[in-house]
Homo-oligomer: A and B are copies of this chain.
Amino acid sequence: MLDALFRPRSIAVVGASTDPTKLGSLPVKFMLGAGYDGELYPVNPRASTIQGLPVFSSVKAIGQKVDLAIIAVPKEFCAAALADCAEAGVAAAIMFTSGFAEVDTAGAMAQLEIAALARRTRMRVLGPNCLGVVNFAEGMVASFHPAFALTEKRAGRIGLASQSGAFGGLSYSLARERGLSFSYCVTTGNEADVDIAECVSFLADDASTDVILLYLEGCRNGPALVEALKTARRNGKRVVAIKVGRTASGAAAAASHTATLAGSDAVFDAVFRQYSVYRAQTIEEFLDVGVACALGKPPLNSSLGLVTVSGGVGVLMADAATDLGLEVTPLSEATQARVREILPYAGPRNPIDVTGQVVADPKLFERGLELALAEGGFGALVAFTGALPRNPEHAPMLTGVYASLRERHPQVCLISAGLSTPQFRDELGALGIPSFEDPTRAVRAAAALHFFARRVCEPAVGEKRSLPSLPGGPIGEAEALRALGAAGIPVVEAHLATDAKSAVEAARTIGFPVVLKIASPDILHKSDMGGVLLGLASEAEVESGFGELLARARRAHPEARIQGCLLAPRIESGMEVVLGTNFDPVFGPVVMVGLGGIFVEILHDIALRLAPVGIEEAHAMLRELQGFTLLEAARGRPAADIDAVARAIVDLSSFALAHAHEIVSCDINPFLVLSKGAVAVDAVIVRKSGKEQA
């Protein structure tokens, strides 16, 4: 679909100029330098040659098939230039020009016209306000960012997709400094037409890309992004994302930066967890994990071996590993004894502190590492060599040690930490050993590789089921519970009584004590008006309770439609859980779980996923909760039925999906979890208004 954008064989540069420093001249200069061998057509009505190439007065005047047009003219000439391209049958255009939706309303209107033109003519448009595309294998530099000035035809296997141009350029520069090579870079800017999801989708299907680095501020088309991420995972590609606007200040800044719909950051975070995207918090982490993915091997398990020339750094790395969920498993006593034989002063446990002794004899370092690799059972190993790689005598010896280890252990996940040189780093990189100067960052890279190794295979997703339609009009509690019951969620046995007499009969059927609740589709917060009576123990209490609730409801909500009262058995025990669904404007139905009370209200301790959710993912949600241990058995308390909650999450997610067109939200609060089974005790479903359904 986006081939014309990423792999054009002929490019018109509209706004190329005889001044080689101008925006429109730079791509021509960069591509000539990079050896792009497709056709290059500078377009300028007032010049005859530019950088040695013949110039055309318009795109139409070229008279040849043009795959891609670069538009680098002032804002006021953009519309005409685009129209010219479309008429000439150009397949795709890139608009560098800024001053559109990111600046003011007039700009936003002009951008809408660009979008309309793209839809009408089917010419794909990237930008405006973007820094374009680079295809490194072909030396195709459709960008003016100075970071691409010295591009050579040297392709790597990292694809970079960024909504921000400056961020893309910066990340590329930093990555190049660290010796990384790329397949493609693309920046999407204001996304009048082509959006970030399409670019991720392109990279996810591109055979020359293994790792996708993604910078996001928001997303216009959530489902498309999810599909692209699924494709990436299915194709074994690792996606590292940085998504800014996590905080209120950040979100406000993002809103004023691009005109993209930001969406809820918590939902983005859920999407990343769900589709195995590693979320980086800083540029440094973004690139570190990129380096690890590009060079490193997948760890076999979560145990981390640490070898160090400094005991102190060993402790530091052990702390970091534990923080990141890796296990610093000690070597067996027998192996420790063998380490001590080789290195008398060593700390042999794990971290394996080989001490400064190895400076005198790097063979000792190799034998220590070999022992750890052969007998430690580690999924990955980080070796800290201090300043040794900076020493011109020691560096080649160390490289030799790593090369011979790699020969004996071709698939092991090895990471180097310590002061380094570009040469040492690149030699290790060629051996599939990422290296980091900071030891904590090396450990974090191991944890990131473990993150990907753990989630390579797609977990089973929930099924999309067809469910009975919801009743018309606002939905009362009784209907809500019934609808959820029909979706497979265990619900309390609730009876709707329309008068006191039938209430007493229902109570007799249920058995005392009972709970009595006002039943009205117009009263969502029953407790606030005293609309719930707990533990009524006799027929007399039920009878008088019925009258009292009706009276209270009429006083508090004179206009509400009152259906009567709902009766349910009183459930004395169980752990309170809150389940819910919400319709996210970017991604659609989202399902939520949290523990009741302060966990949700004070600590905001909830887990989110997009619907549908599979059973494995539902369990992962529960394990994410800070309060998860409350569900497990503890002193004098049996374990809660965690499976029952997970199944309810799965069923609620199917329910949310089946009714996505008609409901805004559904809250089950509380969902009482017993030691065997669970039950929804109260439920509120909010229907979309007619406008929202449309």
Contact = CB atoms under 8 A, between A and B. Distances in A.
A446 interface: no
B440 A319 contact: no
Contact of A627 (B282, B351, B440, B598): B598
Contacts of A281: 440
Given A283-B438, A284-B440, A387-B147, A257 B313 contact: no
28 contacts: A98-B355, A99-B345, A103-B344, A162-B312, A164-B310, A164-B313, A166-B386, A167-B313, A169-B387, A170-B386, A170-B387, A170-B419, A174-B419, A215-B312, A244-B315, A246-B322, A247-B318, A247-B322, A249-B327, A249-B328, A250-B319, A252-B318, A257-B314, A282-B316, A283-B313, A598-B598, A602-B626, A602-B630
A621 to B, nearest CB: 18
Contacts of A99: 345
A166 to B, nearest CB: 3
Interface string A295-318: 000000000000001111111101
Name which of A147, A169, A174, A256 has the most chain B CB atoms within 10 A of its CB.
Answer: A256
Given A217-B315, A312-B167, A320 B282 contact: yes
Interface in A319-358: 319-323, 327-328, 330, 344-345, 347, 349-351, 353, 355-356
A328 B385 CA distance: 41
Contact of A166 (B98, B256, B311, B598): B311
A246 B242 CA distance: 28
A594 interface: no
Contacts of A540: none
Given A173-B419, A345-B103, A316 B626 contact: no
A49 interface: no
Contact of A253 (B147, B163, B318, B387): B318
Given A440-B282, A602-B627, A627-B598, A164 B311 contact: yes
Interface residues of A, number: 76
B328 A253 contact: yes
Interface of A: 98-99, 102-103, 146-147, 162-164, 166-167, 169-170, 173-174, 215, 217, 242, 244-250, 252-254, 256-258, 281-284, 309-316, 318-323, 327-328, 330, 344-345, 347, 349-351, 353, 355-356, 386-387, 391, 419, 438-441, 598, 602-603, 626-627, 629-630
Nearest to A629: B602
B315 A254 contact: yes
Contact of A322 (B166, B248, B438, B603): B248
Closest A-B pairs by Cβ, 3 of them: A164-B312, A166-B310, A167-B312
Nearest to A144: B356
Name which of A245, A250, A330 has the most chain B CB atoms within 10 A of its CB.
Answer: A250
Nearest to A315: B244
Contacts of A309: 166
Contacts of A146: 387, 391
A628 to B, nearest CB: 9
Contacts of A258: 311
Contacts of A318: 247, 249-250, 252-253
A630 B598 contact: yes
A313 to B, nearest CB: 6
A147 B419 CA distance: 12
A322 B252 CA distance: 12
Contacts of A355: 98
A201 to B, nearest CB: 21
Contact of A349 (B173, B253, B327): B253
A642 to B, nearest CB: 16
Given A174-B419, A282-B440, A283-B440, A322 B249 contact: yes
A98 B346 CA distance: 11
B314 A253 contact: yes
A99 to B, nearest CB: 6
Contact of A310 (B170, B248, B629): B170
A319 B170 contact: no
Contacts of A353: 256-257
A235 to B, nearest CB: 27
A202 to B, nearest CB: 21
B345 A249 contact: no
A166 B247 contact: no
Contacts of A215: 312
Contact of A316 (B244, B323, B603): B244
A120 to B, nearest CB: 28
A283 B439 contact: yes
Given A167-B310, A167-B316, A602-B629, 4 more contacts: A162-B312, A166-B312, A283-B440, A598-B598
A215 B99 CA distance: 51
Contacts of A320: 282
Contact of A319 (B102, B246, B256, B312): B246
A216 to B, nearest CB: 10
Contacts of A327: 249
B163 A312 contact: yes
Given A315-B245, A319-B244, A349 B256 contact: yes
Contacts of A626: 602-603
B316 A438 contact: no
Contacts of A244: 312, 315-316, 319
Nearest to A265: B319
A306 to B, nearest CB: 8
Contact of A98 (B257, B345, B351): B345
Contacts of A438: 282-284
Contacts of A328: 249, 253
Nearest to A330: B252
Contacts of A321: 249
A270 B312 CA distance: 22
A371 to B, nearest CB: 17
Contacts of A102: 311, 345
B598 A347 contact: no
Contact of A250 (B166, B169, B282, B322): B322
Given A164-B311, A242-B316, A323 B598 contact: no
A353 B439 CA distance: 34
Contact of A347 (B257, B316, B386, B627): B257
